[in-house]
A and B are shown apart, each in its own frame.
Chain A
Amino acid sequence: MASENHLYLGVSMRGKFAIGSVIIGLGVIFLIFTGVQQSAARHMTLDMLLEQSVTELDGRRIQLGGCTVVVGSIEWDAYRHRPEFLVTDGERNLQVRYTGNAVLPDTFQDRAQVVVEGLYVAGGGEPQFEAEIVFAKCPSKYEGQSYDDHVGALDVENSS
């Protein structure tokens, strides 16, 4: 900013404006810093998460991405509100328990791509994930993928 100030400021005003912009800047940095501390979650994929032990990640907020919901694994509570379900990255599975208050988005269903945010804990013996937030993206059948896979399979058939 300082180098640009001379374009619109008289000489005597420069110092004052520099002080003003420093104050605003510091305020914003403070807000951003404390804001990050409040809501930061470390993003991990399932293989990264499973490599580490539960105690290592104790109390750290984690966002687990790149998973889909295992078909048929969703077990709702009596009111269809807080489900337990398995997520998979194609190879490994992990049990997830939803603990949040919000009604899960309508896109949460079998095969949905999910991002879950919460804590990795040692449940009754088996490690599991306590998710406070579950983001669900529509399964890819709404865009791209499915037909492309189909076309890919056809190509393989034709070439063999």
Chain B
Amino acid sequence: MVDVGYFALCLALAAAAYATATSLFGIHRRHEGLIRSGENAALSVCALYTVAVMGLWYAIFSRDFQIQYVAENTNAHMPAQYMLASLWGGQNGSILFWGWMLSAYTSAAILLNRHRYRGLMPYATAVMAASCCFFALLNIFAADPFQRLPFTPTEGQGLNPILQHPYMAIHPPLLYAGMVGMTVPFAFGISALAARELNNTWLRAMRRWLLIPWTFLGGGLLLGGKWAYVELGWGGYWGWDPVENASLMPFLAGTALLHSVMIQERKGMLKVWNMVLLIFTFGMTIFGTFLTRSGVVSSVHAFAQSNVGPFFVTYLVIIVVGSVVLLLWRLPDLKPESHLESFASRESAFLLNNWILLTLLFAVLWGTLFPVISEVVTGDKITVGAPFFNRVSVPMGLVLLFLTGAGPLFAWRRTSGESLRRNFTIPAISAVLVATVLFAVGMRNLYALMSLSLCGFVVGSVGLEFSRGISARRRSTGESTLAAFYMLLSKNRRRYGGYLVHLSVILLFVGFTGQALSIDREIVLYPGQREDVGRYAVTFETLAFGDDANKSVSAAAVSLEYDGQFLATLLPERHFYKTAEQNTTEVSIYTRWLEDFYLIIIGSNSQDGSTKFQIYVNPLVACVWWGSALLVLSSLWAMWPTSRDRRLARLDREAARATAGPASA
């Protein structure tokens, strides 16, 4: 089975190479048969990759420890769901998994679009198949997951216990689905340039393919944060680690692109800028992967250093040089159809949003690469930590927040002073109201006040948009408010789904703001002792020890009160895994409304039984989780095809068939 897997991987490489070459040759010769053959070969890459992945899974589940990857990433006692996850737990397997996903995306893009966008698809197929080639090459020549050891270990090393967590089984695939998926919009962009079909058609083809990986990236990032929060025991969810930054950067670039394509669709402006952004977004996914896997920057959770670095650099150089040359070549075809007319316009707001997102991205990139840059420039390797990133990102985040609310209040082309005053009144009142209330209840943290009142501003602006839409519908159709709300959401999914995404961003920002207000305490308690922590009080009841073959456990029982009311008994634990010789912290979290009481047992003094605890009170943190859920759901809502989309697709297919018909007959 393992040999079958390896063989399938080699065949996948051959099929992908064939698909690339044949598609290009087919375009050159205008030969429909060759183009079809290229597409079918690209589809077969997915089937072959599936066989390869099954081969590795088979080796994992049959505990074939002679396979180095299996020996290093699994052991005989692991539960089945983590055996499944260990396919992407290590470097080589995750690259195989990456290639598999890429081939699946490629197949989906071909099957859904090949009858629709006849002009674009052959080029897109070539680009996507060429990417498949790269990952298959990488697997075969630098990161072979099927590599055998010259001996068979009796037991594998297992997956790191802190990674044996449900979130950790889901988080990497989601993130990969986001990173990998950016290949599809990139392929559409390149095909538009190559085929010289630079009207709005390719934008229409690419839009959803951009939104899908964007949603995956967002969901993956936030799930990773949730995992860190419940599993790592440092009370936070985002540490500005290079690996985290590596996936944040394509997300920021993708967000900028999602906004600026709207200007192009509507006004025919920013054509060059959008191409650059698209190339940049895709480049960032490859660059991020390179950062994570090459050992260029040291990170807490990077993969082991390996020799895939040069491969990624070569790939990145080919992508950037190739697409920039193509872009320069097509520059004359990318003239804007209109100009920016006024500062006070939707276009300007979008532009500003793009600049801020990109400068934020640049700052994150700068901080991540600072050790490398400073070493080249000064000879000293200088690193910057979380304080740097927080200092830079908080002010820019606040400007972005303001734009989230302000953007929709501007009209396209130009907005008169009168309508600006009218549009800004309600959101501004809402912001002032929030600030006043918070100040009155005693909040004095400047950043938190600014952030939360800006959130109020955005809620006011989104609310205004919805209420205008609803009353317009009610006037014309006589629907009830609720029905009008629902119809508004489902008739114009893109616009109102987008506003829902904005609301989820507000929830996220409210949650982030909570970090500024969190309390962090370290206390030592004797059994039976009670201690106040803000309005909470904890009583250390007892400490217990347990022991089994796999691990030994020490657990504390701590009762928690709020304003004198008993809430719960918390049971934080500390585990020691015997085979891995590793400690893990099992955090105990009590969620009260939007606030978390987060308790960790640090250790106990065996002499006198006193025990040290670490406590975090994290206000508003639940907003981050609710916000992420809403982000994913509302983005799904926005991208879901409407009946109008399906009708358009049918018309496109019929038109394509009509033009292709005589040629193939």
Using CB atoms and an 8 Å cutoff, list the residues of chain A in contact with chain B.
4, 7-10, 13, 16, 20-21, 24-25, 27-28, 31-32, 34-36, 38-44, 63, 65, 76, 78-81, 101-103, 105-107, 109-110, 115, 117, 133, 135-138, 140-147, 150-151, 154
A109 and B583 within 8 A (CB):
yes
Interface residues in B499-558 (C-beta closer than 8 Å to A)? 520, 522, 524
A interface: dominant SS: mixed
B319 at the interface (CB under 8 A from A): no
| Chain A residue with Cβ nearest B607 | A78
**Chain B neighbourhood of A8, CB < 8 A:** 269-270, 273, 336, 339-340
Using CB atoms and an 8 Å cutoff, list the residues of chain B in contact with chain A.
68, 71-73, 90-91, 149-151, 153, 157, 160-162, 232-234, 269-273, 298, 300-304, 306, 334-336, 339-341, 343, 352, 355-356, 359, 362-363, 366-367, 370-371, 375, 380-389, 391-392, 395-396, 520, 522, 524, 581-585, 600, 602-605, 607, 610-612, 614
> Beyond A81-B603, A145-B304: 4 further Cβ-contacts under 8 Å?
A35-B363, A43-B375, A81-B602, A107-B162
A41 and B382 within 8 A (CB):
yes
Contact of B585 (CB < 8 Å), options: A21, A65, A106: A106
A28 and B359 within 8 A (CB):
yes
**Chain A neighbourhood of B585, CB < 8 A:** 103, 106
B272 and A43 within 8 A (CB):
no
Given contacts A28-B359, A43-B380, contact A102 B387 (CB under 8 A): no
The 22 listed contacts between A and B (C-beta, < 8 Å) are: A7-B334, A8-B336, A31-B363, A31-B391, A35-B388, A40-B388, A41-B382, A41-B384, A43-B381, A78-B603, A79-B602, A79-B610, A79-B611, A79-B612, A103-B602, A107-B582, A109-B582, A137-B301, A143-B90, A143-B303, A147-B68, A151-B150
Contact of A63 (CB < 8 Å), options: B233, B341, B383: B383
**Chain B neighbourhood of A76, CB < 8 A:** 603
B72 and A79 within 8 A (CB):
no
CA separation between A117 and B90, bound complex, in Å?
28
| Chain A residue with Cβ nearest B264 | A8
CA separation between A103 and B231, bound complex, in Å?
13
Contact of B522 (CB < 8 Å), options: A16, A101, A141, A143: A101
**Chain B neighbourhood of A32, CB < 8 A:** 363, 366-367, 392
* A12–chain B nearest beta-carbon distance, Å: 10
* A136–chain B nearest beta-carbon distance, Å: 8
Counted as pairs of residues, one from A and one from B, with CB atoms less than 8 Å apart, the total is 175
Q: Which 10 A-B pairs have the closest CB atoms?
A: A80-B603, A43-B381, A143-B304, A79-B612, A39-B387, A35-B388, A10-B339, A79-B603, A35-B391, A78-B605
Contact of B383 (CB < 8 Å), options: A9, A31, A34, A41: A41
**Chain A neighbourhood of B233, CB < 8 A:** 103, 106
Contact of B600 (CB < 8 Å), options: A40, A103, A109: A103
B273 and A151 within 8 A (CB):
no
**Chain B neighbourhood of A21, CB < 8 A:** 355
B391 and A10 within 8 A (CB):
no
* B267–chain A nearest beta-carbon distance, Å: 9
**Chain A neighbourhood of B371, CB < 8 A:** 43
CA separation between A125 and B583, bound complex, in Å?
33
* B545–chain A nearest beta-carbon distance, Å: 14
CA separation between A110 and B302, bound complex, in Å?
19
* A148–chain B nearest beta-carbon distance, Å: 8
A35 and B72 within 8 A (CB):
no
Contact of A79 (CB < 8 Å), options: B232, B336, B605: B605
CA separation between A14 and B373, bound complex, in Å?
33
CA separation between A142 and B582, bound complex, in Å?
12
* A78–chain B nearest beta-carbon distance, Å: 4
* B388–chain A nearest beta-carbon distance, Å: 4
CA separation between A24 and B272, bound complex, in Å?
22
**Chain A neighbourhood of B384, CB < 8 A:** 35-36, 39-41
| Chain A residue with Cβ nearest B235 | A102
A137 and B382 within 8 A (CB):
no
CA separation between A115 and B232, bound complex, in Å?
18
**Chain B neighbourhood of A137, CB < 8 A:** 298, 300-302
**Chain B neighbourhood of A79, CB < 8 A:** 524, 602-605, 610-612
* B601–chain A nearest beta-carbon distance, Å: 9
**Chain B neighbourhood of A78, CB < 8 A:** 603, 605, 607, 610
**Chain A neighbourhood of B604, CB < 8 A:** 79
B300 and A105 within 8 A (CB):
yes
CA separation between A107 and B302, bound complex, in Å?
13
